[in-house]
Structure 1
Amino acid sequence: MRSRMNKALAATALTLVTAVAVAGCSAGGDAAGDQELDLAPAVAGEIEAGALDGITLVYAGNGGITQEGQDEAIWQPFSEESGAIVEQDAFELTKLRAMVDSGNVDWNMVVSSSIEVERYCGELYEEIDTEKVDLSKVPDGTLAGDCMVPNIFYGYVVAYNADVYGDNAPQTAADFFDTEKFPGKRGVPVTPWMESPAVEFAMVANGADFDALTPEDFTAGLEAYSSLGSDLVPWTTGAQSQQQLESGEVDMALVWSGRGYGAANAGAPIVPMWGDWVVAVDGIAIPKGSANLDASFAAINYMLGADQQAASSELTSYAPVNVDAKPAVSEPLTDWLVSDHLDTGHTVSIDYWVENWDEFSAEWTDWVAGS
C-alpha cells in the first residue's frame, strides 16, 4: 500500500499512539509483558472471545481512507472480540530501522511493499508462522517471501478514455507503447519505488522471458518508455494521475487501479484494460524484535477473514485478500476490483528486484531525471 497510494496522507493519518507512551512503557508491550499464547488452530477471521485481554498492539499503516477503513472494518471488531487494544500509528521505514537497531520496537504490525519486506526479511521483519496464520484463502499471486501477508491488493492497470478510442481500444501492454495504432498521450509513473511494476509492465510488452530475466531486460523496459517521446506525460502522485485522466490531459495511463476507479467514479469516461495488468501487493509484516508475536499473528489471522475483507473492500475500494470474500459494491467499483481479473494479471518478479534493487534504483533515478 508502505501503501504507495496513501503515502501523502500519512501525515494526517489516524490519531497517533500516545496513551501507552504516556504510561511509560513500550507501545508494543502490555502490563503483563510479552505473552506466549495457547490459541486454537488458526482459521482465517476467527479469534477466541477475550483471548487477548490486556494486550495492546500497535498497527503502523499509511494513513488516509485505507487505514481508516481497515480500522473500522477489521481492528475495531478485532478489539471487541479478542479483548486486545489496537492503536494506530503512521509507518516510516527509517523509524522502523531505528527501533530495530535500538532494540526498542514500539510497533507490532506494519504495512510496507512486498519488495521492501522481502529485502529486509529476517533483518527488520519477523518470519510469518504459517501454523498461526491461515493463508489458505489468500488469492494466488499475492504471497511474496517469508515475512509478509497481503494487506492491500490492487494493481497497475491501463486506464483509457473510452470516448477517444471507442471500438479501437488497447488490449495489451504492447498496445500501450504503440502510438501509431493508438495515438494519444500516455500517463506514466515516474517516482521512486514505482520502478518495479512500471518497468515489469514494459518488459511484458517487450516479450521478456520472466523465467530468465537479466539486467538488460530492465534497461530495455526503460527504453520502451523513452520511445514514447513527447507522448509520455509523467505523474508523481496518485492524485495527479487521476486528475490527468479526468481532465483529458492523457488518453490512457498506467495507474493504480484505485485511481482509475476514482476517475470513473467522478464521471470521466475512463475504463480499465485488463490485459497484462500488474498485480500489486502491499504486505502486513511484524517488526523484528517486537513484543507479543502470538498476539500479532492472531491479529493478522483475523484480518484475513472473508467477512473482514469484504467489509474492508466496501470501505476502501481495494480488492479483498480472501477468495471467499463477497463485498457488496456497486458500479463503477465492480469494474475495477482486481480480484476478478487474476487470470490476466502479471505478478512482479520479487527475487529479481531484491537481487538487483540498488542497481535498478540508480538506473531508474537517472532515467527519471532525464525524462
Structure 2
Amino acid sequence: MAARIGGPVIDAVELSRDLIRRASVTPADAGAMQVLQNALEGLGFACRRMRFGDIENLYARYGNARPNLCFAGHTDVVPAGDAAAWTQEPFDATIVDDILIGRGAVDMKSAIAAFAAAAQSAIAGGRVAGSLSFLITGDEEGPAIHGTKMVVEALATEGEAIDHCVVGEPTSSVTFGDMIKIGRRGSVNVGIEVAGTQGHVAYPDRAANPLPVLVDLLSRLQARRLDDGFLGFQPSNLEITTIDVGNPTTNLIPSTGRARINIRFNPNHTGADLVRWIEGEAAKAAESFNGKIRLTPQISGEAFLTEPGPFTDVVAEAVRDAVGQAPELSTSGGTSDARFIRALCPVVELGLVGTTMHSVDERAPVAEIRQLQTVYERLIERYFAAFAG
C-alpha cells in the first residue's frame, strides 16, 4: 500500500537550489540543514539534530524495521574564492542553458536533493520494506572532527542499526554513471621539525645544523617503495608537501628546519604502522645529532574496501538501469566521510560527475540531477528487493 505524504512534493532541482542558496561554508550552516530537515519531515522522517562543537549534523530515519539503507552526505561547502571570476553569483543557484551553477551543485547538495526526491517516490509507492535514513554533516570539507565521525560514534554507542550506506560524493569521472567508489585509500600527514643550534657558517663546530638531518630523514622516507598495490588499489605513495627553513641570510646556520609529508595508503598498511616506521627512520637520522626531531602525525583516515558482492551489485545495477551500462568499481581519489561510516556498515559512493567540484562555476546539468534521482529510486527499489525479508 502506498504511504501518505503530508508535505509538499520535492523537486530535486528546486531543493538543490534551495540548499545552494544557503552559503554553508564550513563551519557555517546558514540554514541549509533546516531546509533539508523541513523536506524530510514532510515525508514522515523522524529528524534528530546532533550538534557537536560549532557543527550542525542531522540523522533522520523513516521506519523502524530493518534493513536500514542510509544515505550520507554533507551540506557544507568550500569557499567560493574570487566571486568576480564566476559567471554567476556563487550562491544564487542560477540555471543557465539547463545547467545549475553554484557552490555545492556537484559537491554535493544536488545528490542530497536527488536522494530526498527518490525517498519521496519510494515512500509514496510503498517500496520501503524496512527503513531509509539520512546521515548529513556540516563538517566534511573542514577538519571533519565534529561531523560524521562523531555522529557515527554516537549512533554506534546507542546501538543504532544501519545495514548499508550510499554516500553521495561526485564519483562519476567523465560521464554520469561511469564510476562508483567501493573503497578509498587512507591518509596520514606528518609534520617534521628538526631543531638544532644556530651559528655562523664559518664555525660549524659551534652549531648543530638541522638541515642535513632533515634531508637525510626525507631521503630515507623517499627511498622506500611502500608496496605494489592491493586488490584494485593503486600503490601507496609518499609525497613531500613542503620544506620550510625561512633563512634569508647566507652566512647563518639556521636553528630549525621543517617539512611535511603525506602518505596515501592502501590496505597493505595501517596509519599506525606507517607512523611507527617514520618514527624509526627519524631515530636513525637523529643518531649522533646534537638536537631533536619532533614528529606530529595525524591519521585522517584508514584505507577500506567494500568487497564486490550483493550490495555493490545492487548499486551497479541501479546505475545500469538508468544509463544503460555498468559503472566501473573504483578505489581511486581522495578521502571521504565513507572512511568513518565503514565502522557501521558496508558503504559505497555514488554521485554526479566531479570535474567542476571546488572550481569556479561549479555546475551540474539539470538532466543529470534528475538522472541521479532515477538511479537512487532504482537503488532503493533493488535494495529492499534484495535485502528485505
Q: TM-score, normalised by structure 1?
A: 0.30
User: Normalized per residue, which structure has more strand?
Assistant: 2
User: Normalized per residue, which structure has more helix?
Assistant: 1
Q: TM-score, normalised by structure 2?
A: 0.29
